[in-house]
Amino acid sequence: MTTNTTINYAKLADAAADTYTSARDALNRAAANLAVVDSDRRGYQDIITADGHIDVPIFNVWFTQDEKQEIAEQAVAYYRAADAYKEYTRGTMRYFEDAMAASTALALITEVHRLVHQDSNMGALLRELRDSEEGQELAVYHDFPKMFSFVANFECRANSAKDALLDSASDTLRKAMAPYNRDAVTLMLIRFFKRDTDERGNLVYDNHYFNLRNLPTLHDVELNNMRASESKFCTVDTKLTKHFYVEARDRLSKAISRATKNMQERIKNA
């Protein structure tokens, strides 16, 4: 944790990147697993409903009552397992999204802090603007290719040298934040900065402004990232739940396959 006066910006940036990459990959895996479950479910729904009713006419004619009963029981168990897996996985996905938001915030605040406090003309300008009466704003445009920018005030726009320095600072910030995609930036604005959302959970505004004087501290964003990174442990339970889902799916598949094979023999011998 950052506690001394010598700040290791590279270490903080690496911590943010590690949490972000792990959370992003876990979120993608969870989404892919949900897609598989949805695909499986659609396939079985063409054969048997969630309450055990067989929808294939030839199966209703040629399956025995015992076979129908076994398939119905396995179908009910399968649909319950699928619902439980989807519910649990969606819950863990929220943890991963929180981790993406926290890591993106850490990366952003770390780079802004580094730029403001560097011993250079750029750093001197940012400190001057930050400490001015109106302060210096950082803009986040989550729906635009250039998502981050230091907003130039009238003085900077009128001074080509200062305007160029501020543009350079914005470019440097964008390069540092390039690994963090639009979804991560949006999650950061919603989950970390608590920006307004509509009834569907989407951001109300496209442009978001932060005065440099009011940004959270490095200590706060680092601690928040450390807490959020613990969500990676949820992957253990997700895999365990998936194991139960796969077992239920296999039992239903085997029950249908056995009955189908027996049906084919009965038709052949009829």
Question: What residue numbers bound the domain in which 215 lies?
Answer: 9-269
3-state secondary structure the chain: CCCCCCCCHHHHHHHHHHHHHHHHHHHHHHHHHHHHHHHHHHHHHCCECCCCCECCHHHHHHCCHHHHHHHHHHHHHHHHHHHHHHHHHHHHHHHHHHHHHHHHHHHHHHHHHHHHHCCCHHHHHHHHHHCCCCCCEEEEECCCCCCEEECCCHHHHHCHHHHHHHHHHHHHHHHHHCCCCHHHHHHHHHHHCCCCECCCCCECCCEEEEEHHHCCCHHHHHHHHHHHHHHHHHHHHHHHHHHHHHHHHHHHHHHHHHHHHHHHHHHHHC
- The pLDDT value recorded for residue 243 is 78
- The pLDDT value recorded for residue 47 is 94
Q: Looking at the domain assignment, is residue 87 inside a domain?
A: yes
Q: Looking at the domain assignment, is residue 1 inside a domain?
A: no
pTM: 0.86
- The pLDDT value recorded for residue 1 is 44
Q: Looking at the domain assignment, is residue 256 inside a domain?
A: yes
Q: Provide the domain count of the chain.
A: 1
Q: Looking at the domain assignment, is residue 2 inside a domain?
A: no
- The pLDDT value recorded for residue 3 is 40
Which pLDDT tens digits describe the chain residue by residue (270 residues)?
Answer: 444 468 999 999 999 999 999 999 989 999 999 999 999 999 999 999 998 889 899 998 999 999 999 999 999 999 999 999 999 889 889 999 999 999 999 999 999 999 999 999 999 999 999 999 888 999 999 989 999 999 988 878 878 898 999 999 999 999 999 999 999 999 999 999 999 999 999 999 999 999 999 999 999 999 999 988 876 655 656 666 667 899 999 999 999 999 999 999 999 887
Q: Looking at the domain assignment, is residue 70 inside a domain?
A: yes
Q: Looking at the domain assignment, is residue 181 inside a domain?
A: yes
Q: Looking at the domain assignment, is residue 3 inside a domain?
A: no
Q: Looking at the domain assignment, is residue 4 inside a domain?
A: no
- The pLDDT value recorded for residue 232 is 61
